[in-house]
Amino acid sequence: MRRTIYIITLFVVLMVGISTGMSAQNKPFLVVLDAGHGGHDAGAVGRPTTNREKDINLAIALKVGKLLQQNCPDVSVLYTRSTDVFVTLSGRADIANKAKADLFVSIHTNAIERSASRRPMGVQSYTLTLRTAQTNLEVEKRENSVIQFESDGAQKYSFMNPNSPESEIMFELMQDRDMQESVNFAKLAQEEMVKTGGRKDMGVLQANLAVLRLTYMPSVLLEVGFISTPEEELFLMSDEGRSLIAKCIYNAISRYKTLHTGRMSKLEKIDPKAVDKQIVENNVELKEAIDNAAVAEEPVEKPVEEVAPVVAEPAAPVVVLQETTPAEQPSNSQPVFKVQFLISPKHLVPGSTQFKGVKADSYKEDNVYKYTYGSTTNYNEIVKMKNEISDRFPDAFIVAFKDGQKVNASEAINEWKNKSKKK
Ligand SMILES: [Zn+2]
Protein backbone atom coordinates (compact mmCIF):
# COMPACT_ATOMS: atom_id res chain seq x y z
CA MET A 1 0.00 0.00 0.00
CA ARG A 2 2.67 2.40 1.10
CA ARG A 3 4.58 1.42 -2.02
CA THR A 4 1.59 2.25 -4.27
CA ILE A 5 1.24 5.69 -2.70
CA TYR A 6 4.94 6.21 -3.23
CA ILE A 7 4.67 5.30 -6.92
CA ILE A 8 1.63 7.54 -7.43
CA THR A 9 3.39 10.41 -5.71
CA LEU A 10 6.43 9.88 -7.88
CA PHE A 11 4.22 9.85 -10.99
CA VAL A 12 2.54 13.14 -9.99
CA VAL A 13 5.89 14.74 -9.26
CA LEU A 14 7.18 13.64 -12.65
CA MET A 15 4.11 14.95 -14.48
CA VAL A 16 4.37 18.34 -12.76
CA GLY A 17 8.05 18.36 -13.62
CA ILE A 18 7.37 17.67 -17.30
CA SER A 19 4.58 20.23 -17.58
CA THR A 20 6.62 22.98 -15.91
CA GLY A 21 9.47 22.02 -18.21
CA MET A 22 7.21 22.52 -21.21
CA SER A 23 5.87 25.88 -20.07
CA ALA A 24 9.45 26.99 -19.44
CA GLN A 25 9.91 27.00 -23.21
CA ASN A 26 7.55 29.96 -23.54
CA LYS A 27 8.39 31.84 -20.40
CA PRO A 28 10.88 34.67 -20.80
CA PHE A 29 14.46 33.94 -19.84
CA LEU A 30 14.93 35.64 -16.46
CA VAL A 31 18.28 37.20 -15.58
CA VAL A 32 18.98 38.64 -12.14
CA LEU A 33 21.60 41.39 -12.25
CA ASP A 34 23.25 41.82 -8.88
CA ALA A 35 25.25 45.04 -8.44
CA GLY A 36 27.57 44.20 -5.55
CA HIS A 37 27.56 46.22 -2.29
CA GLY A 38 25.54 49.46 -1.88
CA GLY A 39 24.35 51.89 0.78
CA HIS A 40 26.67 51.93 3.78
CA ASP A 41 28.72 49.11 2.24
CA ALA A 42 30.94 50.87 -0.30
CA GLY A 43 32.86 47.74 -1.30
CA ALA A 44 36.44 48.33 -2.40
CA VAL A 45 37.56 51.95 -2.46
CA GLY A 46 40.09 53.67 -4.74
CA ARG A 47 43.14 55.30 -3.18
CA PRO A 48 43.60 58.19 -3.05
CA THR A 49 40.47 58.96 -5.06
CA THR A 50 37.85 57.32 -2.77
CA ASN A 51 35.95 56.17 -5.87
CA ARG A 52 33.64 53.41 -4.70
CA GLU A 53 33.12 49.89 -5.98
CA LYS A 54 29.38 50.03 -5.27
CA ASP A 55 28.94 52.89 -7.78
CA ILE A 56 30.90 51.12 -10.53
CA ASN A 57 28.98 47.86 -10.02
CA LEU A 58 25.61 49.61 -10.13
CA ALA A 59 26.40 51.69 -13.21
CA ILE A 60 27.50 48.58 -15.12
CA ALA A 61 24.51 46.49 -13.95
CA LEU A 62 22.07 49.17 -15.09
CA LYS A 63 23.78 49.38 -18.48
CA VAL A 64 23.59 45.60 -18.94
CA GLY A 65 19.90 45.67 -18.00
CA LYS A 66 19.21 48.46 -20.47
CA LEU A 67 20.91 46.58 -23.31
CA LEU A 68 18.88 43.45 -22.52
CA GLN A 69 15.62 45.37 -22.35
CA GLN A 70 16.34 47.18 -25.61
CA ASN A 71 17.52 44.20 -27.63
CA CYS A 72 15.97 41.06 -26.13
CA PRO A 73 12.18 41.18 -25.76
CA ASP A 74 12.25 37.55 -24.61
CA VAL A 75 14.53 38.29 -21.65
CA SER A 76 13.23 39.58 -18.31
CA VAL A 77 15.61 41.55 -16.13
CA LEU A 78 15.43 41.75 -12.36
CA TYR A 79 17.85 43.84 -10.28
CA THR A 80 18.77 43.06 -6.69
CA ARG A 81 19.22 46.82 -6.41
CA SER A 82 18.78 49.62 -8.93
CA THR A 83 19.79 52.44 -6.56
CA ASP A 84 22.41 53.06 -3.90
CA VAL A 85 20.87 50.93 -1.14
CA PHE A 86 22.18 48.16 1.10
CA VAL A 87 20.92 44.64 0.40
CA THR A 88 22.08 41.62 2.43
CA LEU A 89 23.72 38.73 0.63
CA SER A 90 20.82 36.43 1.54
CA GLY A 91 18.37 39.16 0.44
CA ARG A 92 20.02 39.19 -2.98
CA ALA A 93 19.78 35.42 -3.27
CA ASP A 94 16.14 35.47 -2.08
CA ILE A 95 15.19 37.81 -4.91
CA ALA A 96 16.66 35.42 -7.47
CA ASN A 97 15.33 32.25 -5.80
CA LYS A 98 11.77 33.56 -5.40
CA ALA A 99 11.67 34.72 -9.02
CA LYS A 100 13.07 31.33 -10.14
CA ALA A 101 15.67 33.10 -12.22
CA ASP A 102 17.47 31.28 -15.02
CA LEU A 103 20.77 33.05 -14.41
CA PHE A 104 22.28 35.11 -11.58
CA VAL A 105 25.06 37.54 -12.51
CA SER A 106 26.81 39.33 -9.67
CA ILE A 107 28.95 42.31 -10.72
CA HIS A 108 31.93 43.35 -8.60
CA THR A 109 35.16 45.34 -8.82
CA ASN A 110 38.41 43.83 -7.67
CA ALA A 111 41.02 45.31 -5.34
CA ILE A 112 44.26 44.44 -3.60
CA GLU A 113 46.23 46.29 -0.97
CA ARG A 114 47.76 49.08 -2.97
CA SER A 115 51.49 49.10 -3.49
CA ALA A 116 53.72 50.37 -6.24
CA SER A 117 54.88 46.89 -7.20
CA ARG A 118 51.45 45.25 -7.25
CA ARG A 119 49.28 46.77 -9.94
CA PRO A 120 47.29 43.86 -11.38
CA MET A 121 44.95 44.40 -14.31
CA GLY A 122 42.29 42.17 -15.74
CA VAL A 123 38.97 40.41 -15.32
CA GLN A 124 38.01 37.28 -13.41
CA SER A 125 34.83 35.20 -13.45
CA TYR A 126 34.05 33.20 -10.32
CA THR A 127 31.87 30.17 -9.83
CA LEU A 128 31.22 28.43 -6.55
CA THR A 129 33.38 25.87 -4.88
CA LEU A 130 33.23 24.58 -1.35
CA ARG A 131 36.91 23.99 -0.85
CA THR A 132 39.03 26.94 -1.73
CA ALA A 133 42.40 27.20 -3.31
CA GLN A 134 44.76 29.37 -1.31
CA THR A 135 44.93 31.96 -4.08
CA ASN A 136 41.26 32.85 -3.94
CA LEU A 137 41.13 33.64 -0.25
CA GLU A 138 41.54 37.36 -0.80
CA VAL A 139 38.46 37.65 -2.99
CA GLU A 140 36.42 35.52 -0.58
CA LYS A 141 37.41 37.65 2.37
CA ARG A 142 36.44 40.84 0.56
CA GLU A 143 33.23 39.76 -1.12
CA ASN A 144 31.93 37.82 1.89
CA SER A 145 32.84 40.65 4.26
CA VAL A 146 29.42 42.21 3.62
CA ILE A 147 28.24 39.83 6.35
CA GLN A 148 29.81 42.15 8.92
CA PHE A 149 27.25 44.82 7.97
CA GLU A 150 24.39 42.46 8.81
CA SER A 151 23.46 42.33 12.50
CA ASP A 152 22.80 38.59 12.64
CA GLY A 153 25.40 37.81 9.98
CA ALA A 154 27.62 35.46 11.96
CA GLN A 155 24.76 33.11 12.78
CA LYS A 156 22.94 33.40 9.46
CA TYR A 157 25.96 32.43 7.42
CA SER A 158 27.39 29.78 9.76
CA PHE A 159 27.14 27.29 6.89
CA MET A 160 29.92 29.25 5.18
CA ASN A 161 32.41 27.55 7.42
CA PRO A 162 33.56 24.71 5.16
CA ASN A 163 34.00 22.43 8.21
CA SER A 164 30.42 22.69 9.43
CA PRO A 165 28.11 19.71 8.67
CA GLU A 166 25.48 22.18 7.46
CA SER A 167 27.89 23.31 4.81
CA GLU A 168 28.23 19.78 3.41
CA ILE A 169 24.46 19.42 3.18
CA MET A 170 24.02 22.74 1.40
CA PHE A 171 26.66 21.76 -1.05
CA GLU A 172 25.02 18.41 -1.78
CA LEU A 173 21.82 20.26 -2.59
CA MET A 174 23.52 22.22 -5.30
CA GLN A 175 22.76 20.45 -8.52
CA ASP A 176 25.58 19.31 -10.74
CA ARG A 177 23.76 20.83 -13.66
CA ASP A 178 23.78 24.30 -12.11
CA MET A 179 27.46 23.98 -11.32
CA GLN A 180 28.26 23.06 -14.90
CA GLU A 181 26.02 25.80 -16.30
CA SER A 182 27.69 28.35 -14.02
CA VAL A 183 31.06 27.41 -15.43
CA ASN A 184 29.65 27.60 -18.98
CA PHE A 185 28.40 31.13 -18.40
CA ALA A 186 31.63 32.16 -16.65
CA LYS A 187 33.60 30.99 -19.70
CA LEU A 188 31.39 33.02 -22.04
CA ALA A 189 31.68 36.13 -19.85
CA GLN A 190 35.42 35.78 -19.61
CA GLU A 191 35.76 35.20 -23.35
CA GLU A 192 33.64 38.26 -24.20
CA MET A 193 35.56 40.53 -21.85
CA VAL A 194 38.91 39.34 -23.15
CA LYS A 195 38.28 38.84 -26.90
CA THR A 196 35.61 41.46 -27.52
CA GLY A 197 36.41 43.91 -24.73
CA GLY A 198 40.19 43.70 -24.92
CA ARG A 199 40.53 43.23 -21.14
CA LYS A 200 43.32 41.16 -19.64
CA ASP A 201 42.43 37.54 -18.91
CA MET A 202 42.76 36.48 -15.27
CA GLY A 203 40.74 33.35 -15.74
CA VAL A 204 37.61 31.45 -14.74
CA LEU A 205 38.14 30.73 -11.05
CA GLN A 206 36.31 29.13 -8.16
CA ALA A 207 35.74 30.48 -4.67
CA ASN A 208 33.52 29.91 -1.66
CA LEU A 209 31.32 33.00 -2.12
CA ALA A 210 28.22 33.42 0.04
CA VAL A 211 26.02 35.04 -2.59
CA LEU A 212 26.68 32.15 -4.99
CA ARG A 213 26.12 29.57 -2.26
CA LEU A 214 22.66 30.92 -1.55
CA THR A 215 21.31 31.02 -5.11
CA TYR A 216 19.68 27.92 -6.59
CA MET A 217 20.42 28.48 -10.26
CA PRO A 218 23.50 28.95 -12.44
CA SER A 219 25.26 31.88 -10.78
CA VAL A 220 28.51 33.68 -11.46
CA LEU A 221 30.37 36.52 -9.79
CA LEU A 222 32.33 38.78 -12.15
CA GLU A 223 35.27 40.90 -11.02
CA VAL A 224 35.39 43.42 -13.86
CA GLY A 225 38.72 45.11 -13.06
CA PHE A 226 40.89 46.48 -10.27
CA ILE A 227 39.87 49.71 -8.56
CA SER A 228 43.23 49.57 -6.77
CA THR A 229 45.14 49.90 -10.06
CA PRO A 230 44.89 53.53 -11.26
CA GLU A 231 44.77 52.66 -14.98
CA GLU A 232 41.84 50.32 -14.45
CA GLU A 233 40.21 52.64 -11.96
CA LEU A 234 40.16 55.35 -14.65
CA PHE A 235 38.71 52.88 -17.10
CA LEU A 236 36.00 51.79 -14.67
CA MET A 237 35.16 55.37 -13.69
CA SER A 238 34.66 56.38 -17.34
CA ASP A 239 31.31 56.03 -19.07
CA GLU A 240 33.04 54.42 -22.07
CA GLY A 241 34.73 51.82 -19.89
CA ARG A 242 31.50 50.94 -18.12
CA SER A 243 29.63 50.71 -21.42
CA LEU A 244 32.29 48.40 -22.83
CA ILE A 245 32.14 46.03 -19.84
CA ALA A 246 28.33 46.13 -19.96
CA LYS A 247 28.29 45.18 -23.65
CA CYS A 248 30.58 42.23 -22.96
CA ILE A 249 28.36 40.97 -20.14
CA TYR A 250 25.31 41.54 -22.33
CA ASN A 251 26.90 39.52 -25.15
CA ALA A 252 27.71 36.67 -22.76
CA ILE A 253 24.10 36.60 -21.49
CA SER A 254 22.74 36.65 -25.07
CA ARG A 255 24.99 33.77 -26.09
CA TYR A 256 24.15 31.79 -22.97
CA LYS A 257 20.44 32.34 -23.52
CA THR A 258 20.69 31.28 -27.17
CA LEU A 259 22.35 28.02 -26.12
CA HIS A 260 19.49 27.34 -23.71
CA THR A 261 16.42 28.53 -25.57
CA GLY A 262 17.57 28.40 -29.18
CA ARG A 263 16.40 31.98 -29.56
CA MET A 264 19.01 34.31 -31.03
CA SER A 265 19.42 37.91 -30.03
CA LYS A 266 21.77 40.43 -31.54
CA LEU A 267 25.29 40.87 -30.27
CA GLU A 268 26.86 44.26 -29.75
CA LYS A 269 29.76 45.14 -32.03
CA ILE A 270 32.60 46.69 -30.11
CA ASP A 271 35.85 48.31 -31.17
CA PRO A 272 37.88 48.19 -27.96
CA LYS A 273 40.78 50.16 -29.45
CA ALA A 274 38.56 53.13 -30.22
CA VAL A 275 37.09 53.00 -26.74
CA ASP A 276 40.50 52.83 -25.08
CA LYS A 277 41.74 55.79 -27.11
CA GLN A 278 38.79 57.92 -26.09
CA ILE A 279 39.20 57.00 -22.43
CA VAL A 280 42.88 57.90 -22.49
CA GLU A 281 42.11 61.28 -24.08
CA ASN A 282 39.38 62.04 -21.57
CA ASN A 283 41.46 61.11 -18.58
CA VAL A 284 44.94 62.54 -19.13
CA GLU A 285 44.35 65.27 -16.57
CA LEU A 286 42.63 63.00 -14.10
CA LYS A 287 45.42 60.46 -14.40
CA GLU A 288 48.06 63.03 -13.52
CA ALA A 289 46.03 64.03 -10.52
CA ILE A 290 45.73 60.43 -9.33
CA ASP A 291 49.44 59.79 -9.79
CA ASN A 292 50.41 62.95 -7.96
CA ALA A 293 47.83 63.00 -5.24
CA ALA A 294 48.77 61.77 -1.81
CA VAL A 295 45.62 62.85 -0.02
CA ALA A 296 42.15 61.41 -0.44
CA GLU A 297 39.48 63.30 -2.30
CA GLU A 298 35.94 63.21 -1.05
CA PRO A 299 33.25 61.29 -2.88
CA VAL A 300 30.27 63.09 -4.33
CA GLU A 301 28.04 63.96 -1.41
CA LYS A 302 24.37 63.14 -1.22
CA PRO A 303 22.04 66.08 -0.63
CA VAL A 304 21.47 66.65 3.07
CA GLU A 305 17.77 65.79 3.06
CA GLU A 306 18.59 62.20 2.09
CA VAL A 307 21.06 61.68 4.89
CA ALA A 308 19.88 63.79 7.81
CA PRO A 309 17.17 61.55 9.34
CA VAL A 310 19.38 58.45 9.62
CA VAL A 311 22.48 59.63 11.41
CA ALA A 312 22.65 56.32 13.29
CA GLU A 313 23.62 54.61 10.03
CA PRO A 314 27.06 53.00 10.40
CA ALA A 315 29.73 55.11 8.76
CA ALA A 316 30.77 53.95 5.32
CA PRO A 317 34.37 52.71 5.16
CA VAL A 318 34.94 55.44 2.57
CA VAL A 319 34.90 58.11 5.21
CA VAL A 320 37.61 56.53 7.32
CA LEU A 321 40.65 57.66 5.42
CA GLN A 322 43.93 59.25 6.38
CA GLU A 323 43.54 62.90 7.07
CA THR A 324 45.91 65.75 6.47
CA THR A 325 45.36 67.29 9.89
CA PRO A 326 45.37 65.24 13.09
CA ALA A 327 41.94 65.04 14.71
CA GLU A 328 43.21 66.24 18.08
CA GLN A 329 43.84 69.78 16.77
CA PRO A 330 40.92 71.70 18.28
CA SER A 331 39.43 74.37 16.11
CA ASN A 332 36.60 76.72 16.86
CA SER A 333 36.31 77.96 13.31
CA GLN A 334 33.50 76.68 11.10
CA PRO A 335 34.20 74.61 8.01
CA VAL A 336 33.94 76.45 4.71
CA PHE A 337 32.39 74.45 1.87
CA LYS A 338 33.27 74.82 -1.81
CA VAL A 339 32.35 72.91 -4.98
CA GLN A 340 35.38 71.43 -6.72
CA PHE A 341 34.66 71.01 -10.42
CA LEU A 342 37.95 70.90 -12.30
CA ILE A 343 41.58 69.90 -11.84
CA SER A 344 44.43 70.80 -14.12
CA PRO A 345 48.18 70.21 -14.10
CA LYS A 346 48.54 73.70 -15.61
CA HIS A 347 47.40 76.99 -14.13
CA LEU A 348 44.37 78.31 -16.02
CA VAL A 349 43.79 82.04 -16.52
CA PRO A 350 40.61 83.55 -15.05
CA GLY A 351 37.77 83.33 -17.55
CA SER A 352 39.35 80.32 -19.30
CA THR A 353 36.91 78.51 -21.61
CA GLN A 354 37.57 75.34 -19.56
CA PHE A 355 35.51 76.88 -16.73
CA LYS A 356 32.44 76.92 -19.04
CA GLY A 357 31.36 80.28 -17.60
CA VAL A 358 31.62 79.19 -13.95
CA LYS A 359 33.34 81.73 -11.67
CA ALA A 360 36.36 79.82 -10.41
CA ASP A 361 38.61 80.03 -7.38
CA SER A 362 41.65 77.82 -7.18
CA TYR A 363 43.98 76.14 -4.75
CA LYS A 364 47.07 74.03 -5.34
CA GLU A 365 47.47 70.55 -3.92
CA ASP A 366 49.86 67.75 -4.84
CA ASN A 367 51.24 69.76 -7.77
CA VAL A 368 47.86 70.17 -9.45
CA TYR A 369 45.57 73.16 -9.60
CA LYS A 370 42.09 72.50 -8.29
CA TYR A 371 39.26 74.81 -9.22
CA THR A 372 36.27 75.51 -7.01
CA TYR A 373 32.99 77.36 -7.19
CA GLY A 374 31.21 79.09 -4.30
CA SER A 375 32.22 79.47 -0.69
CA THR A 376 29.86 79.17 2.25
CA THR A 377 29.66 77.78 5.79
CA ASN A 378 26.13 76.50 5.06
CA TYR A 379 26.10 72.96 3.70
CA ASN A 380 22.60 73.31 2.21
CA GLU A 381 23.78 76.36 0.27
CA ILE A 382 26.76 74.50 -1.18
CA VAL A 383 24.53 71.62 -2.28
CA LYS A 384 22.44 74.20 -4.20
CA MET A 385 25.59 75.65 -5.76
CA LYS A 386 26.76 72.18 -6.78
CA ASN A 387 23.39 71.64 -8.47
CA GLU A 388 23.71 75.02 -10.25
CA ILE A 389 26.77 73.82 -12.18
CA SER A 390 25.88 70.13 -12.42
CA ASP A 391 24.75 70.49 -16.05
CA ARG A 392 28.25 71.65 -17.01
CA PHE A 393 30.24 69.67 -14.42
CA PRO A 394 28.25 66.55 -13.46
CA ASP A 395 31.19 65.09 -11.51
CA ALA A 396 31.70 68.15 -9.31
CA PHE A 397 31.87 67.40 -5.59
CA ILE A 398 31.95 69.24 -2.28
CA VAL A 399 35.23 69.97 -0.51
CA ALA A 400 35.74 71.58 2.90
CA PHE A 401 38.35 73.89 4.39
CA LYS A 402 39.15 75.01 7.91
CA ASP A 403 41.45 77.94 8.58
CA GLY A 404 42.45 77.78 4.93
CA GLN A 405 43.45 74.08 5.20
CA LYS A 406 41.60 71.37 3.33
CA VAL A 407 39.83 68.98 5.71
CA ASN A 408 37.85 65.75 5.37
CA ALA A 409 34.57 66.84 3.76
CA SER A 410 32.44 64.06 5.28
CA GLU A 411 33.56 65.04 8.78
CA ALA A 412 32.99 68.72 8.06
CA ILE A 413 29.47 67.94 6.81
CA ASN A 414 28.74 65.90 9.93
CA GLU A 415 30.05 68.71 12.08
CA TRP A 416 27.77 71.16 10.31
CA LYS A 417 24.78 68.84 10.67
CA ASN A 418 25.40 68.33 14.38
CA LYS A 419 25.73 72.08 14.93
CA SER A 420 22.58 72.91 12.97
CA LYS A 421 20.64 70.24 14.88
CA LYS A 422 21.57 71.78 18.23
CA LYS A 423 20.33 75.23 17.12
ZN1 LIG B 1 32.73 43.42 -4.30
| Å from CA of 328 to ligand 1 middle | 34
| Å from CA of 75 to ligand 1 middle | 26
- The predicted structure's pLDDT at residue 130: 65
199 with 320, same domain: the answer is no
Question: Can you tell me the mean pLDDT for 105-134?
Answer: 81
| Confidence check: pLDDT of 379 > 60 | yes
- The predicted structure's pLDDT at residue 391: 78
| Confidence check: pLDDT of 124 > 70 | yes
| Å from CA of 157 to ligand 1 middle | 17
Indicate the number of domains in the chain: 2
- The predicted structure's pLDDT at residue 261: 81
| Confidence check: pLDDT of 78 > 70 | yes
Beta-strand pair 75-79/29-35 = parallel
268 with 323, same domain: the answer is no
418 with 323, same domain: the answer is yes
User: Which of 287, 320, 344 represents a domain boundary (last residue)?
Assistant: 287
Range of the domain at 316: 304-422
Worst-scoring range by mean pLDDT, 49-53, 153-157, 318-322, 344-348? Answer: 318-322
| Å from CA of 87 to ligand 1 middle | 13
> Residue 5 domain-assigned?
no
329 with 280, same domain: the answer is no
Q: What is the pLDDT of residues 305-333, one digit of tens each?
A: 333 322 233 333 322 222 233 333 444 68
* Pairwise CA distance, residues 367 & 323, whole Å: 18
Binned at pLDDT 50, 70 and 90, residue 143 comes out as: confident
Q: What is the pLDDT of residues 179-222, one digit of tens each?
A: 889 999 999 999 999 999 999 999 999 888 888 888 889 999 99
147 with 190, same domain: the answer is yes
238 with 308, same domain: the answer is no
In this prediction, what percent of the chain has a pLDDT beyond 90?
35
> Residue 13 domain-assigned?
no
| Å from CA of 53 to ligand 1 middle | 7
Let me know if 301 is exposed, middle or buried by CB neighbors in 10 A (0-12, 13-18, 19+): buried
* Pairwise CA distance, residues 168 & 43, whole Å: 29
| Confidence check: pLDDT of 103 > 80 | yes
Worst-scoring range by mean pLDDT, 47-51, 386-390, 411-415? Answer: 411-415
43 with 128, same domain: the answer is yes
> Residue 23 domain-assigned?
no
Q: Would you give the DSSP letter of residue 216?
A: S
337 with 268, same domain: the answer is no
In this prediction, what percent of the chain has a pLDDT beyond 70?
67
| Å from CA of 88 to ligand 1 middle | 13
> Residue 16 domain-assigned?
no
106 or 341: which leads in pLDDT: 106
136 with 56, same domain: the answer is yes
Average pLDDT of the chain, as a whole number: 76
Beta-strand pair 397-402/368-376 = unpaired
- The predicted structure's pLDDT at residue 13: 42
> Residue 4 domain-assigned?
no
277 with 329, same domain: the answer is no
> Residue 332 domain-assigned?
yes
CA atoms within 13 A on the CB side of 71: 19
What residues have their beta carbon closer than 5 A to ion ligand 1? 36, 43, 108, 143
Can you give the pTM of this predicted structure?
A: 0.59
Q: What is the pLDDT of residues 249-286, one digit of tens each?
A: 999 999 999 988 877 777 777 665 655 555 555 455 44
DSSP, collapsed to helix, strand or coil, labels residue 19 as helix
